Amino acid sequence: MSRDSNSRRWPVIVSLIIGLMLTLMPLPTVIDAFRPDWFALLVIFWAMKLPRTWSVGTAWILGIILDVSQGTLLGQHALALCVVAFATVRFHLLMRVFPLPQLTATVFAILTLYQFLLFWVNGVAAIDAPAITYWGPVLSGTILWPLVMVFLSGVRYGTRAGN
Amino acid sequence: MVASRESTNNPGRIPALGFRVLGLVFISILLMYFDNRDNHLDTVRKSIGAAVYPILVVVDAPVRLWNWLGNSTTSRANLEMELSRLKSERLLTNARLQKLNALEAENTRLRSMLDARSRVRDQVRVAEIMSVDANPFDHSLVIDIGTQDGVFDGQALVGADGVVGQVIKAGLITSQAMLISDTDHALPVEVNRNGLRTIVVGTGSIDSLELPFIVNNADIRVGDLLVTSGLGGAFPPGYPVATVKTVTRIPHEPYADVTAKPAAPLGQVREVMLIFSSAVAVPEVTVDE
């Protein structure tokens, strides 16, 4: 069992560290507006595949890390990621049997919800932000989802076969 | 084998999920409320920041490694070319510096004659940018030094070409800074050509600032250099901020529509200088219109 849970845990942790790298890496301004929400994508994937181990609590802690490292309102990303994890865990059985196009549409909806929560919190806290720019990460995240999905599934089965 | 266990283990419902989400959402809202209202959470943020610092270092490592690889594998020809370029540049800069020294000496002499306070040469410390906010309109960044190096809230951040921003939350090891292009940022400046004082406000766009309080008949032209006036107390005077990009005078409006381009390339800076001026000298002789 311990070897089993190890083989489940390592791919997640490594993918999260890489996700944080991609999130914090300095990029030119033009591309920066389209930087996907890597953490949201990872949380959706892992909460869908392993809803018992990686659920709302982990998502919340990841959100706090994001808030501190980016200097946003403490709890803003935590709240949004937590809700993303909840929506995914709630529908994970359904999402597992969805064909890829339908799953991608679902991910689009969840990413929109994520950005809407961030937008909402900014609005309530009176932080100035033009609404149109929120769509960049949603679009790029949706486009990248099939790749992320295929890649992470490959990694997951690869480590299992190795063990 | 694991796959079958995984699916049999999951009857579909995770117990108490709803309660956990409600609890976490409630905690998040409380955190955001206190963070936004009174900055009560500064110590909490600082301690979490200290805990997260190793992760940030790990995350930043590939970028550093890439830069280091790039530096250590440049070809000999490139290096020689660069060396000769730098040598000629140094000659030029030295010549200019001599002139500057002479001017500075003259300036101090004249100022002492005018009985004004002499301008203190500012002390600076170089900091590296660790991360930028992925949120495209929240123009803030995190730098790699904090209160243990003497950083304080409101400290000025200057790049090689001009003012970059100021520190808004000084942490123990890292600090958060706001760029001058942030919509919440305003900076007292003066036009270098004629001493016209005004305020530069961020627009949320990284390559544009606006000057909302220029009256229609004020003497301002495209290409004018704006420098810090030192009047707000946060920035020492005389650092370049921006150059005027457009001036649109609308006849029936009280204020002209003036935009400016930041002197520092705000989207490209990787190192900044933090200014520790022992005294922010406010020039006592000002030009009045």
B30 vs A: CB within 8 A? yes
Range among A69-73, A129-133, B274-278 with highest mean pLDDT value: A69-73
**Contact A32/B134, CB-based, under 8 Å?**
yes
Chain A residue with CA closest to B268: the answer is A28
Structure tokens at A82: 């937590």
Q: What is the predicted pLDDT for the residue at B137?
A: 67
The Cα of A48 is separated from the nearest Cα of chain B by a number of Å equal to 11
Total number of domains constituting chain B: 2
Q: What is the predicted pLDDT for the residue at B261?
A: 93
Domain presence at residue B241? yes
Q: What is the predicted pLDDT for the residue at B210?
A: 92
Cβ-Cβ contacts under 8 Å for B58 (sequence gap 6 or more)? A17
Q: What is the DSSP string of chain B?
A: -HHHHHHHH--S--TTHHHHHHHHHHHHHHHHHHHHHH-TTHHHHHHHHHHHHHHHHHHHHHHHHHHHHHHHT--HHHHHHHHHHHHHHHHHHHHHHHHHHHHHHHHHHHHHHTTPPPPPPPEEEEEEEEEE-SSTTS-EEEES--GGGT--TT-EEE-SSSEEEEEEEE-SS-EEEEETTSTT-EEEEEETTT--EEEEEE-SSTT-EEETT-BTT----TTPEEEE-S-SSSS-TT-EEEEEEEEE--TTSSB-EEEEEESS-TTT--EEEEEE-SS-PPPS-----
Per the listing, tokens 């800069």 go with B93
* CB nearest B36 (choices: A20, A73, A133): A73
Per the listing, tokens 């507006």 go with A33
Q: What is the predicted pLDDT for the residue at B209?
A: 92
Is the CA virtual torsion B147, B166, A66, A122 positive or negative?
positive
B60 vs A: CB within 8 A? yes
The Cα of A128 is separated from the nearest Cα of chain B by a number of Å equal to 7
Higher pLDDT: A91 or A133? It is A91
**Contact B55/A20, CB-based, under 8 Å?**
yes
Instruction: Give tens-digit pLDDT for A76-127.
Output: 888 899 999 998 988 888 888 888 888 899 899 999 898 888 888 877 776 6
B10 vs A: CB within 8 A? yes
Q: From B122, B120, B198, B209, select the one nearest B164 (Cα to Cα).
A: B209
pLDDT band, very low/low/confident/very high, at A6 (cuts 50, 70, 90): low
Alpha-carbon gap, residue B137 to B140, rounded angstroms: 9
Q: From B251, B149, B163, select the one nearest B202 (Cα to Cα).
A: B163
Higher pLDDT: A78 or A162? It is A78
Q: What is the predicted pLDDT for the residue at B259?
A: 93
Domain that holds residue B22: 18-71
Domain presence at residue B259? yes
B77 vs A: CB within 8 A? no
Alpha-carbon gap, residue A52 to A92, rounded angstroms: 11
Higher pLDDT: B89 or A70? It is B89
Q: Are strands B197-202 and B209-211 parallel, antiparallel or unpaired?
A: antiparallel
Domain presence at residue B45? yes
Domains of chain A listed by start with CATH number: 2-158 (1.10.1760)
The Cα of A101 is separated from the nearest Cα of chain B by a number of Å equal to 23
Chain A residue with CA closest to B50: the answer is A68
B16 vs A: CB within 8 A? no
Instruction: Identify the CATH number of the domain in which residue B246 sits.
Output: 2.40.10.350
The answer to whether residues B159 and B167 touch, using CB atoms and an 8 Å cutoff, is no
Domain presence at residue B274? no
The Cα of B31 is separated from the nearest Cα of chain A by a number of Å equal to 6
Low-confidence ranges of chain B (pLDDT < 70): 1-15, 38-40, 109, 112-122, 134-137, 277-289
Q: What is the predicted pLDDT for the residue at A161?
A: 55
Q: Is the pLDDT of residue A133 over 60?
A: yes
B65 vs A: CB within 8 A? no
**First-to-last C-alpha distance (Å) of chain A:** 12
ipTM above 0.90, yes or no: no
Instruction: Give tens-digit pLDDT for A8-54.
Output: 677 888 888 888 888 877 777 677 778 888 888 998 988 888 888 77
* CB nearest A130 (choices: B3, B36, B204): B204
Alpha-carbon gap, residue A43 to B16, rounded angstroms: 19
Looking at beta carbons, which residues of chain B come within 8 Å of A53? none
Alpha-carbon gap, residue B204 to B183, rounded angstroms: 5
Q: What is the predicted pLDDT for the residue at B245?
A: 92
Count interface pairs A-B at CB distance under 8 A: 142
Chain A residue with CA closest to B9: the answer is A52
Chain A residue with CA closest to B133: the answer is A70
Alpha-carbon gap, residue B33 to B261, rounded angstroms: 35
Q: Is the pLDDT of residue A160 over 70?
A: no
Residue A92 has φ and ψ, to the nearest 5°, of -65, -30
**First-to-last C-alpha distance (Å) of chain B:** 84
Domain presence at residue B234? yes
Domain presence at residue B252? yes
Domain presence at residue B248? yes
Domain presence at residue B255? yes
The answer to whether residues B206 and A29 touch, using CB atoms and an 8 Å cutoff, is yes
